[in-house]
Structure 1
Amino acid sequence: MPRLPDTGYVPTADELTSIEAWFTDYDAAAARRDIERMADLAVFPLNLVSDDSAGSGASAQWDRERFVGTMTQVMGDGSEDISFESVRTPVFLGPAMAVVFTDSTMTADGATQQLRYADVLIKRDGRWAFQTMLQSGWGDNLR
């Protein structure tokens, strides 16, 4: 994973590896459309920040039930072939908090789409979990 210049908190090699391992687990669950496992890797209430189709900022807090329901609807039934290639840039704010910027190429049934988003991860009891998702275009789903 590329990272920003060494300013502020500098993560250890183990901390960088632990973030990479978390994303490996999350990406594998997403590829299987294992929404329950994806939810296991989150902290609820989960914060979401986005914009809507009218160009206005939007935010919400979801509980686990809303996350599972919405992600199940968004990710479909598994009949569509979806893959992701992602480059992530973690910015550690401390040993238990990181903002991870992702540039991703999503391929769904042969069509590709470029995505950019960020996640705020926190470490609790030695394990990472995502607490905030930031991505453009989800605002209409946050109401």
Structure 2
Amino acid sequence: MMRRIAVCLVSLVLTSPVWAQDQEHKDSPPATGGSGMPMDMSKMGPWTRKPTNEAQTRKEIEAWVKEGDAIMKRRDFEADIARADFPIYMATDNSKGIPSTETYDRQKYVEMVKPMFEQMPADMQAKHKLDITVLSDSLVVLEDDFTLTMGGQKYSGKNAGLLVKRDGQWKWKAFFEAGWGDMPPPAAVGGSGMQEDPEKPQ
């Protein structure tokens, strides 16, 4: 997605009428980004924010995931929600394949997640196969192919999300996991939380 944006920006500069005129008239004004100032592509874009230590960032994310399992095991809900950078964007779908998305502030997130958190079996064990894409020192895309064991049963699935490093701490900024669209609403609220995509046919 971001690579596509970068390509479009470069294409915009190279194909703009101002650029074409500049090839014919060397004294023509340079392309601008809308502010009236020349657009210096060397000062912005992913090439200016390459990771300084990708291996170290990967280790930090692996440790962060393990910490999340420990928090879940001891049922420390406050520690769990401290790992989210609110507002947080979430997406899922239901048994009919209809996607739903919602942006959550802290209060709405607590209302949805806390009842599920408190009902997690004490014997739950998690295994993870992580795919970590380091975009920069403060942006990471995380994919998790996981297996949960609880009550003698195994459940496997995948989720993905965006992590941001805020004040030295990694936090969820976006989280995507299929299959929760049919979940009944929490008793504390009257809605189902996530909203079906209005552009998706029923």
Q: Contact conserved, 1:59 with 1:139, CA < 8 A, in 2?
A: no
Q: Contact conserved, 1:87 with 1:102, CA < 8 A, in 2?
A: yes
Q: Normalised by the size of structure 2, how large is the TM-score?
A: 0.61
Residues 107 and 126 of structure 1, relative CA distance in 2, 3 Å threshold: same
Q: How far did 1:17 drift? A: 1.4
| Matching of residue 62 in structure 1 with residue 108 in structure 2 | no
Give the match for residue 138 of structure 1: 180
- 1:112 alignment partner, one of 133, 148, 154: 154
Q: Which runs of 5+ in 1 are unaligned?
A: 1-7
How many corresponding residue pairs? Answer: 136
2:77 maps to amino acid: I
* DSSP 3-state at the match of 2:164: strand
Q: Pick the structure with greater CA Rg.
A: 2
Q: Which has the higher strand share?
A: 1
Give the match for residue 35 of structure 1: 77
Q: How far did 1:129 drift? A: 0.7
- 2:123 alignment partner, one of 63, 81, 87: 81
Residues 77 and 26 of structure 1, relative CA distance in 2, 3 Å threshold: same
Q: Normalised by the size of structure 1, how large is the TM-score?
A: 0.84
Q: CA RMSD in A?
A: 1.9
Post-superposition Cα deviations, 1:64-113, rounded to whole Å, max 9, x if no partner, equal: 22222322222334555211111111111222111111011111100111
Q: Contact conserved, 2:146 with 2:157, CA < 8 A, in 1?
A: yes
Q: Contact conserved, 1:100 with 1:119, CA < 8 A, in 2?
A: yes
Residues 79 and 87 of structure 1, relative CA distance in 2, 3 Å threshold: closer
Percent of aligned pairs with the same amino acid: 28
Give the match for residue 60 of structure 2: 18
Q: Distance in 2 between matches of 1:128 and 1:64?
A: 17
1:47 maps to amino acid: Y
Larger RCO, structures 1/2 (Cα 8 Å, 6+ apart): 1
Q: How far did 1:49 drift? A: 1.0
| Matching of residue 127 in structure 1 with residue 169 in structure 2 | yes
Q: Distance in 2 between matches of 1:79 and 1:55?
A: 28
Q: Distance in 2 between matches of 1:89 and 1:31?
A: 23
